């Protein structure tokens, strides 16, 4: 479960999003929506442990190593001199240490994750030579390798074509079916309504109201606010 208690997120003690008090159940799949600048990325970075809260509290009932965070594409550095295989191998550092601890079973697992996103043929390529959609598939392979229970994903489908979006969405649904907790920043309303059982909406215009968590798709009932 992810719990927010009067949480305000921001920078240098200045809040950039409305106060949040609610909880997301373990195994829930939530779209995090809101206008540009409403604080979605800041909220994910806070949950990922990269920023301190401005005020209030949050808690995730998973160990730090069980939380997988994928930043927006613009924040990624893809020009490190490593291969795609090594990038995906980074996903298992908490289980096997850095590269020295990777055994044959881990190598098989890394290749299986790359196959799952149709990127096995690119194992020896440099991430900097991949297209945006190919790099996104590789980052999903790394996420699978991490075996995290909580996924915090920041606009994972931005700039990604329909085929890759379908493939990556399938992986999200599988993770959800296996009991994972997902919080995913999205701007695509149709996808939110069709693929995400619930939506957490940050509304900067209504900062004095609490952000709402609502059921999407067939129901419109507000279940917590
Ligand atoms: N490092 C930073 N220092 C200070 N302010 C920042 C920093 N990064 C972002 N901000 C500000 O925080 C606010 C929220 O930014 P954030 O990136 O969380 O919004 P967002 O909802 O993810 O937007 P988008 O949909 O455009 O990605 C914005 O006003 C932004 O200018």
Residue 20, H or E segment: strand 20-24
Task: Say yes or no: CB of residue 37 within 6 Å of ligand 1.
Answer: yes
Q: Which atom of ligand 1 is nearest to the CA of 187?
A: 25
Which pLDDT score, from 0 to 100, does residue 220 have? 31
Which token pair is 44? 């994910």
pLDDT tens digits, residue range 103-161? 888 999 999 999 999 999 999 999 989 998 999 999 999 999 999 999 999 999 988 99
User: Can you tell me the distance from the alpha carbon of 29 to that of 94, in angstroms, rounded to the nearest whole number?
Assistant: 25
CA distances from 82 to 73, 77, 99, 193, 212 (A): 18, 12, 12, 38, 42
DSSP H or E stretch at residue 220: none
The predicted complex's ipTM stands at: 0.98
The 10s digit of each residue's pLDDT in 79-96 is: 778 899 999 998 887 777
The CB of 136 under 6 Å from ligand 1? The reply is: no
pLDDT at 75: 62
Architecture of domain 1-62+150-156+179-225: 3-Layer(aba) Sandwich (3.40)
pTM score, whole prediction? 0.89
The ranges assigned to domains in the chain are: 1-62+150-156+179-225
**Average model confidence (pLDDT) for the chain?**
86
The atom of ligand 1 lying closest to the CA of 45 is: 18
- Residue 212 pLDDT grade (very low, low, confident, very high; cuts 50, 70, 90): low
pLDDT at 222: 31
């Amino acid at each position: 479960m992810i719990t927010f208690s009067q949480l305000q997120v921001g920078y240098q003690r200045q809040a950039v999003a409305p106060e949040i008090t609610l909880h997301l159940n373990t195994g829930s799949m939530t779209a995090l929506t809101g206008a540009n600048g409403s604080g979605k990325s800041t909220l994910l970075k806070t949950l990922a442990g990269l920023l301190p809260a401005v005020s209030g509290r949050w808690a995730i009932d998973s160990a730090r190593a069980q939380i997988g965070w994928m930043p927006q594409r613009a924040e990624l550095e893809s020009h490190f001199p490593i291969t795609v295989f090594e990038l995906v191998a980074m996903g298992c550092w908490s289980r096997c240490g850095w590269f020295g601890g990777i055994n044959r079973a881990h190598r098989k697992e890394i290749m299986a994750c790359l196959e799952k996103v149709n990127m096995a043929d690119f194992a020896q390529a440099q991430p900097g030579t991949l297209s945006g959609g190919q790099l996104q598939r590789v980052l999903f392979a790394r996420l699978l390798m991490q075996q995290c229970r909580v996924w915090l994903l920041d606009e994972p489908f931005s700039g990604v074509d329909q085929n890759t979006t379908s493939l990556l969405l399938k992986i999200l649904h599988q993770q959800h079916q296996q009991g994972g907790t997902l919080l995913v920043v999205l701007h695509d309303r149709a996808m939110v309504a069709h693929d995400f059982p619930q939506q957490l909406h940050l509304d900067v215009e209504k900062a004095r109201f609490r952000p709402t968590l609502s059921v999407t798709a067939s129901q419109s009932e507000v279940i917590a606010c």
